[in-house]
């Protein structure tokens, strides 16, 4: 149902869904949502609702891992832009974790 709304819903609905997904994923443990469900949402992560979709990248990356997201993103239209954004997100996430640990 969520996947359908992300694919076919109005831009306003998609913006709200990405904001909701970001909030929910931040509160759940990494293994509480089936990986298959999250993978179904990835093709819609980079749609015209970019701001909220980009905020959802980190929670998805924590649960799926960088490699899984790269592999799934290779099937999308603007793959170079997406891969560049994933790399930047991974670097920022790593830098943040290091600053917390040190």
Instruction: Break the chain into its structural domains and give their ranges.
Output: 2-101
**CATH code of the domain made up of 2-101:** 1.25.10.10
The Cα 63–Cα 21 span in angstroms is 13
Please tell me which residue, 75 or 46, carries the higher pLDDT value. Answer: 75
pLDDT recorded at residue 13: 82
Quickly list DSSP for 10-48: -HHHHHHHHHHHHHHHHHS-TTSS-HHHHHHHGGGTTSS
Q: Is the pLDDT of residue 16 over 70?
A: yes
Tens digits of residue pLDDT in 54-82: 777 777 777 878 788 777 777 666 666 66
**pTM of the prediction?**
0.47
Q: Is the dihedral of CA 50, 65, 86, 84 positive or negative?
A: negative
Using the Cα atoms of residue 16, residue 10, residue 84 and residue 31 in order, give the sign of their dihedral.
positive
23/100: higher pLDDT: 23
Q: Which two tokens stand for residue 49?
A: 């609702």
């Amino acid at each position: 149902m969520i996947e359908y709304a992300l694919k076919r819903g109005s831009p306003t609905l998609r913006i709200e869904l990405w904001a909701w997904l970001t909030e929910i994923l931040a509160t759940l443990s990494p293994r509480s949502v089936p990986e298959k469900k999250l993978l179904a949402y990835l093709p819609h992560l980079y749609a015209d609702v970019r701001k909220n979709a980009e905020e959802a990248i980190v929670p998805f990356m924590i649960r799926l891992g960088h490699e899984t997201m790269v592999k799934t993103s290779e099937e999308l239209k603007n793959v170079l832009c997406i891969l560049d954004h994933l790399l930047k997100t991974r670097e920022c996430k790593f830098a943040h974790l290091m600053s917390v640990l040190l």
